[in-house]
Structure formats: C-alpha cells, structure tokens
Structure 1
Amino acid sequence: MFNKVLIANRGEIASRVIRTCKSLGVKTVAVYSEADQEAPFVSEADESYLIGGPKVNESYLNIDAIVNVAKETNSEAVHPGYGLLSENTDFAKRLEDENIVFIGPDSNAINQMGSKLTARQTMEKAGVPIIPGTNDPVESVEDAKQIASDIGYPVMVKASHGGGGIGMEIVHNDTELEKAFESNARRAEQFFGNGTMFIEKVIEDAHHIEIQVLADHYGETVHLFDRECSIQRRHQKVIEEAPSPLLSEETRQEMGEAGVRAAKAINYKNAGTIEFLVDEEQNFYFLEMNTRLQVEHPVTEQITGVDLVEEQLKIAHGEKLSFSQEDLQINGHAIEARIYAEDPKTFFPSPGQITAFNPPVGTNIRHDIGVNSQYKVTPYYDPMVAKLIAFGNSRAETIDHLKDALMDYEVVGIKTNIPFLIDVTQSPAFQKGDTRTSFIQEFMIKQ
C-alpha cells in the first residue's frame, strides 16, 4: 500500500478519504486555502499545506501548487475526491508525467467521458442505450431548431463539456430554444472553456438512477448495484438512496450489466459511476459517466459492506479486486440526505458563522461531516456542509431512522435545508418511492 497520499480536495470528502487512509496506515497530506485554515480536515491530516487564496482558482484548482506540494512531501499518490480537479484531464496527465499515481482512471478515460458527445458515441457502440438526440456538435440555432422539430419538443440543450447543471436547459418551443442555445453555449465557454452544444430528447417523468462500478488492472470489472438520485434542485442531487425503489430485479440486473459494458468500453480502471435516466416502463438510457467517486457513495457502502475509498486506493496501488460479481449482494437499504447551508425555501446559499453544531447520535446513522461548531461557512465553495446517511433492514425502517435523525440535527448560526429534508421524508410521494426528477418542483408547488 502507499506510504503517503495527498488529498487534493476539501470539506467532508477530504475528511472521508483521510479516515480510510488512517485505517490502512497511510499517511495523509492536506492542501487548503486561506478560507479553510480552520476547517476540520486540515488538522485531521498528518501534514497540511496552504496553497493559495480563498477562491478555487487560487487554490484547489491550482495544479502547479498541488503538484509542488505532492513532490515536496514525497506523496506517492493523489486522491482528487469529487468536483474540483477530480475529472480534469490535464491534472491526471500532469500527475502521470510526474510519476505520481492519480487515484482514479487514467487521463485517456477521463478525456473520453469528459465530452458528453464522445461519451454518447462510445456508449452507443458498446450497446448501452442512449437518449435520442445528436451525436455530433450542433453548430447554430437554426440547426438546433431543425433537430428539435425532428425529435419533438421538449428537448434538452446541453453543453458537451458542462457539469453541475451548468450549460443545460429544457426548452419547449423555438423561442425558448433561441435564448437557451446561445446563453448556455456562452456559460459553458466561460466555465469549462468549451461551448460545444448538442441536443437530447427530454425523457419525461424520468428517474435518475446510477450504477456504481469498480474495475482493477487485471480485467475484473464489477457493479455494486444502483442508486436512486432523482430528488434534485437545479440538477444537483439532494437525497439519494440504494437500492432504487423503482427497479425490478430484472431491470436492476440489466442496468448493472450495462454499467459494466460501459466501463469496459473505455478500458476503465478504478471507481466510476454510469448515470441513467429511467422511464416509468423501466426503459433506461445512458446519461453520462462520472469518472470519480460520487458524493452519494456512502449509500452503496452501507448496502454492500464495501469501502469504496479503500478499493480506490488498492486498485490504484495495483492490487486485484478481492471479490467477484457473485460475491456482492444487497443487504438492507440506505438513504443519504445532504445538509446544505442554504435557505430551505429558496435553496439560495446561506453563508455565515456556525455557533453550534450537534449531529444526532444513533446506531442506524452515519455522518460524513466537513464542519464543526466554530466553522465559518464562506461563499467561496459549494454550500454542502455534511451528509447524513441512515440505513436499516427495509426502506420503511430506513426512512424512520432518517426522519428521527433529521429532527434531532442541530445547526445554529446559519440557515440549512434540514426543515425541507424533514418535510420530504414525511411526504406521501417519497414514502411510496415515487421520486422522479420532477419531485422537488412538484413538492414545492404543493407546499
């Protein structure tokens, strides 16, 4: 195993990676910004280094600064967490060139899946169902109108290199398309340096369901079943669960096999996630592949007993998977609620000083936390401060554990989305498992 690993991330995921590294006897190096000097992960690591100002481009996106710290500390590997540089081809390639192990897939795999258009083309060749739409760049608004007319409104205008909900918009007619096409192309160019656009048919009343995969360097690729991730606002997930309450066992198996095919199609290594849209008839369509650890990975860990960060480290170190597909099974149910520093009515960020932070205690809950009672939530980063994971023998039991834990969760000094999460857990639609991607919009209308 590695002797020392640098974590090129912050917040709860940095703390999460540090926790597994410590359990394996691996020393850890944290890098942090001026805004994060008092963050818990900084003191949890064996070594910590300031790399820049509070803005992400001054620190957590500064490849030179991160690589320099890795070299100066003799770190053998870098774990990128999620977000930030985790799917950055240049970062992965730079580490490869410096003979530092990137704990994730190689730069070629990241590059193939970094373009949503390339990903669509690759998946179609691999026999993975894709959403009706274009496999080539759409060059102009007039071309976009013709394509939309051919496949029928509503359609999704999407940036090939977009992410996090940026560069994508649903449109219902030519007028909306004219505005959305150019504005989203500009935003994608601004945020990702690439304004290439394409169009997909909107799968209405869909569920957002993803398949977790692991692949080693010796030809073994397995899936760790599915996660339901349909409860979203602004295309960002809020509540996730495993397994999905929608899927039949037949569909679950078919989707798992499709996920393995997708990974093998790009010679993928390490942990990855294949995301699908699934309609009410359980037809499923490839959406994208995330070439990294997901925020919602804990629910998969809870139902399989597999520590995904540990497996990432072992695979990156050149070890074989210690289990096969036949060894994996679903045990019980797990649900994750993301705790955000945001107004529960508007979902706008709510930065400020936390004056009291008291997570609930219980045998059927897990916490992945990035703050403490002295932490100041700044406007520089994503407002997620913690994750609450509940688990049990059944979905109904798990919902009860989650609801009770949320009721006992105390965060003082800032607004959080906890009141909203409590309302969701008590809603009839959620309790029935009727959680399509339109859930939050419909739920808010009813409030």
Structure 2
Amino acid sequence: MTHLPDSKREAPRRTERTGGAFRSYSEAERARMRGILQDMGTRTSSAGAAPGGPSPDGPARPRRGLRRIGWAALAGAAVAGVWAFAPSPDRIVATAETRLAALTGPAEPPADPAHAQLADPGATSRDAAAPPPPAATPTPTLEASGKVVARREATLSSDLTGRLAELLVSEGDRIEAGDPVARLDAEAAEAQLAIASANVAAAEQERAVVAAELAAMEDDLARTRTLTERGVSSKQALSELQGQHAVLEARAASNDSQIDVQRRQLEAMRQDLDNTLIRAPFDGVITEITANVGEIVSPVSSGGYTQSGIATVVDPGSIVGEVDVNEQFLSKVRPGQPVEMTVPAWPDRTFSGSVDLITPVVDDSTAAVEVTVVFDDVPASVYPGMRLDVAFLSGPEES
C-alpha cells in the first residue's frame, strides 16, 4: 500500500453502532476519504506506466490503466471499510489503560469500603481472619532473692503439764481442723475432775441442810411473833429467834456461793481433761514431730526435763514468698505488680504471682525492705524454706 504523507496520517473516525445502525461520517470526512481514494488511484496509474515513453502495445495500454484504477478503487473501498469498523484511537487508548490497570492494580485503595469489597471480594474475609497484633510482653525491671514461707504455721503443745501418752499422727499426714494429734496421760486430770465433782455435791448437800434449818427457823419465828403479840412470850425470845434466822440466811447465801465456785472448778477440771487431747487448729500437714511418747510436755519448756512442743503443722495453701529489696530500688516495686518466681528445685518452671505487701520498715543493717509476693496458683511442689528468685515485671503503663 502506498504510504500517505505526514499531513494526511490523521486517523479516520469510525461510525459507532447506536440502536443497531451506524452513524454517518461528516461531509468533511467523506471529502477527505474521496481525496485519499483519488490520490491512491492516481499513484497506482502512474506506477503502472513504463518509464521511458509509450508502450509498444499501443491501444491496449489505456484499458490496462483503467483496470488498475478499478482495482485501486476497490482496494480503497476495502481500506475505507476497515477504517469504518476499526475501533477509534480513543477507544484503543481507553482499552489499553483498562487492561494495564487490571494487571497492576489501583495506585491507591478506594476510600469507600463497598468499592474495596467489589474490587477484591475476599479482602473483608481476609481482614476479619487476620490475627490481632501480639501484646507487649512484660519485661523484668528488678530481680531479688528470698525464701518461701507459710503464713499459717503452728507448733502444737499442751496447755497442761503431763506425760505424753500417745501420738496419733506421723510426719507428712494431712489433718483437718479439730483432728486429734496427741494425747497426754489423763489419770491426774480425771482424778481432779472427780474431786471437783465431789466438792460440788458436798456443797449442794450443805445448802440443803441450811435450807431445812432456815425453813424450821422461819416457823419458830412466826409462832413466837404471834405469842409475843398476845403477851404470852417475851420480846427477848422473839429477838433471839430473829438473830438465828439471819444467821441461817447468811449460811444459805454462803452455800450458794460455794456451790457456784465448786461448779466452776468442776468445769475447769473437765476442760483440763479435754486438754489432754491435743487437736489441730487448722487444716494442714504435719511437718515435724518434736516429742516422743513418755516425755513430759508443758506449755513452756523449763529445761531438759520438759518439752514445750509436740508437733508442727503447716497449711500448704498459705505459702508466700518473702524477699528483701534495697531501698534505692523501692520505686520499681508497687502493690499488685506482676512477678515471676523460680525455685532451685524446679529451674525449668516459672510461677506467676504478684506483690501483696511492702513492709513499711527499712532494716537498719541491710537498708532493705521486706516485700511479700503471692502465687496466682499455689504450687504443690514448692515448700516452706525453699530459696525463691523473684523477677518484678513492668506493667502496661511502664512497658
């Protein structure tokens, strides 16, 4: 095909289909197309003529030129048809931009969530399924060492001085509050109880005698008063009877007081007899037995002949940690602060807890403050007396 000059390379406008019909080209476009076809025919005719003069065929040359012009016209019509149905340059550019945007994606995410969901239907579900960012891990701000102690620990002893007759528990036994632990020889307490009971009975009998005498005296006093009013008996006899009646009343009151005292003594003897059985004050574990059967035990040790303690009971659920923190680091510790604890017996285990108490006293010799930490879940494998390493963690406001 013959190349067009630069001035005539303007892309032709094609007709657009609207409602099944084609839009007509303007008169200027038709004129330009006719000019192009005419120019193409002229160029084809001149190209078909042999250079250097007329053809030896003579009369046949014009017909050959006409045929060539016809073929050129048909070729021009075909080109015009192709231009008529070819897409416009604007449509080609728009199509290229659309395909480029589909391959590379939008430069910025759409502001409207509905448009974003239409562009990527799986974006919402992926965002919902995305895990939340991990929380900041608390970091240790201070470390200290101490020991494990039990808040509820007691050494059991007797309220009486007596011989230990029986041990009812062994070390390691779990007991509940009120369970018997040991028993003292109760013969002396039983004898004292019997004596107190007898004293109460004697006092009550004495009170009965006085009551009978007082009743008889009241009868004599009433009769003498009547005779004195009639003049048969003297006033002196009446006065003597009234004095004897007052004495009997005083004896009756004294007997009542004596009976009350004897009854209190009887109750004390019963309590002493009950105290010969040593009981657990709370739930716990027997950790140590310090007395043997046959030894004399008493509330307070008086030397080598008596023993004050019988057994030690500890409540495992009351264990806490006590550590010393130097006063210059006290600003890094606060009540409720989370901590992590380890013990040498279980170096691969970490126990979580928190600060429970900061004792408001500084030790003069160590310049330290005692800090009590508690376990979130009291471990069964940590015992009182173990060494404890505590790491004080930074809280959310400190991290």
TM-score range (shorter-chain normalised) is under 0.3
- After TM superposition, the score normalised by the length of structure 2 is 0.19
- After TM superposition, the score normalised by the length of structure 1 is 0.18
Larger gyration radius, structure 1 or structure 2: 2
